[in-house]
Amino acid sequence: AQSVTQPDIHITVSEGASLELRCNYSYGATPYLFWYVQSPGQGLQLLLKYFSGDTLVQGIKGFEAEFKRSQSSFNLRKPSVHWSDAAEYFCAVGNTGGFKTIFGAGTRLFVKA
């Protein structure tokens, strides 16, 4: 069965520090992988996606993620966190075109001054 695991429920980083959010997936075929961000009371905004090709993908707001097939991982990174990055981050996996996207439990990011 398809599943997504985000092992960290919440993470706190200092503003300006680097960030890595972990994501592991279980999928029978070639996965379509996504990271979404959600601010309180808002919908989901796509940060980046991986379908094929270069395993390091760049997204919006300075985020990047690396697909590692051998580890079934798709970790999200940012070199320098801003206070406005505080939000909930969801890793997700889907079929072609994001069909029936399923989500991990999310990681809440707190940013301290």
Partner 1 sequence: DAMVIQNPRYQVTQFGKPVTLSCSQTLNHNVMYWYQQKSSQAPKLLFHYYDKDFNNEADTPDNFQSRRPNTSFCFLDIRSPGLGDAAMYLCATSGNTEAFFGQGTRLTVV
Site residues (CB under 8 A) for partner 1?
Answer: 32, 34, 36, 41-46, 49, 90, 94, 96-106, 108
CB of 90 to partner 1, least distance (A): 6
3-class SS at 51? coil
- 28 or 97: CB nearest partner 1: 97
- 85 or 106: CB nearest partner 1: 106
- What tokens does 19 get? 């960030």
How many alpha carbons lie under 13 Å from residue 17 in its C-beta half-sphere? Answer: 13
- What tokens does 28 get? 């029978």
- 65 or 106: CB nearest partner 1: 106
Please tell me the distance from the alpha carbon of residue 112 to that of residue 68, in angstroms, as a whole number.
Answer: 30
CB of 46 to partner 1, least distance (A): 6
- Give the residue among 68, 113, 89 at the shortest CA–CA distance from 20: 89
CB of 4 to partner 1, least distance (A): 8
